[in-house]
Amino acid sequence: MADGVDLGSRLDDLSARVRELEAVRALTELRHAFHHCLNRRDWAGLGALFTVDALLDYGELGEARGSAAIREYYTELLPKLVEMRGASKLELKNFNHVHQVEVDGDRATGVCYFEEHIRFDEEELAHQSVGRFSDRYVRQDGRWLFERVELEHYWVVPHNKGWHWPW
């Protein structure tokens, strides 16, 4: 016993801290995988990051429940945006920032800010979309998955200075 704390208590505390750090790391990798799949248009990979009963809530852009429906939602989202704009093509790149998580056993919550650069057709103005994702996660069979993802758009504005086509 040193400093009034026995070795067993210290090891328990250290083990708990390591488990939390491992969870934070896995959740950060999950959030990065989300954006990586968006940028690659890997809708099957994106759907696989969600639980079978997860909720994706994109506000005015709609929602989907369950990993299969979420995969389908993204499959249809970009063509829907192209149609809304009367465009023939859409390119986008999504970047995440400041991922913060709170872990509580096999559940966690998180917030991630993002910026997205969007361009419709080659001649159109580029746009910058900025906002926040609020997440709930669950660990199932040792793997962290999204249980809920909520999108809050702050703004979408033209952003043309310095853009070059193609990226």
Residue 70 has pLDDT above 90, yes or no: yes
Q: Select from 40, 63, 70 the least CA-distant residue to 145.
A: 70
pLDDT range class, residue 119, cuts 50, 70, 90: confident
Per-residue model confidence (pLDDT) at position 147: 98
Partnered with residue 64 across adjacent β-strands are 56
Task: Give me the torsion for CA of 144, 137, 66, 64, rounded to 10°.
Answer: -140
Mapping DSSP to helix (H, G, I), strand (E, B) and coil, where does residue 24 land?
helix
Q: Do 151 and 96 form a contact (C-beta atoms < 8 A)?
A: no
pTM over 0.85: yes
**Fold (CATH) for 7-158:** Nuclear Transport Factor 2; Chain: A, (3.10.450)
Q: Select from 60, 37, 59 the least CA-distant residue to 50.
A: 37
